[in-house]
Amino acid sequence: MIIGMGNDLTNMDRIANSLERWGEKFERRCFTEIEREKAARRPFTRVGTFAKRWAAKEAFAKAVGTGFSRGVFHRDIGVVNARSGAPTLHLTGGAALRLAEMMPHGHEARIHLTLTDDHPWAQAFVIIEAFPE
């Protein structure tokens, strides 16, 4: 059963401005080490890489119904790739706790994530499914 759904549309120019203004401080505050390494390997699409991940974090925060409150922080939501190559989320800290609070007894969470971009926009959709164990 679907227990959460969120989407976000992010302007890449806004992310580019934050990266230019705040640099590494912005990166460290909002992105995981894995996300930062991936963006560094993509110099020509670095801003788009960060913008899609920003959108995914925002979409997750909407899907769990808290936004960035109740202990849910950007850096606790990391975009990673499954073995298949499909994007998904790795959660830590308050984001992982909030998801655990939402799960009905005897169910595990499955997170479905899709990312896309077309300059100047980056978009993400998150669906959280409670699946019987």
- DSSP letter at 75 equals G
pTM score, whole prediction = 0.94
Condensed to tens digits (0 to 9), the pLDDT of residues 53-73 reads: 999 999 999 999 988 888 899
pLDDT by residue (tens digit) across 6-54?
Answer: 999 999 999 999 999 999 999 999 999 999 999 999 989 999 999 999 9
Q: pLDDT of 70-109, one tens digit each?
A: 889 999 999 999 999 999 999 999 999 999 999 999 999 9
Q: Which of the 8 DSSP states describes residue 45?
A: S
pLDDT for 61 equals 96
Q: Locate the domains of the chain by residue range.
A: 2-132
Burial status of residue 118 (CB atoms within 10 A of its CB: 0-12, 13-18, 19 or more)? exposed
Q: Which residue has the tokens 């790795």?
A: 90
pLDDT of residue 5: 98
**Taking 90 as the threshold, does the pLDDT of residue 130 lie above it?**
yes
Picking from 55, 52, 43, 51, the residue whose alpha carbon sits closest to that of residue 16 is 51
Please name the helix (run of DSSP H) or strand (run of DSSP E) that holds residue 39, with its range, or none: helix 33-40
Enter the tokens of residue 76: 């606790």
Name the architecture of domain 2-132: Alpha-Beta Complex (3.90)
Strand-pair category, 121-132 with 107-118: antiparallel
Positions of E strands within the chain: 2-11, 77-81, 87-91, 107-118, 121-132
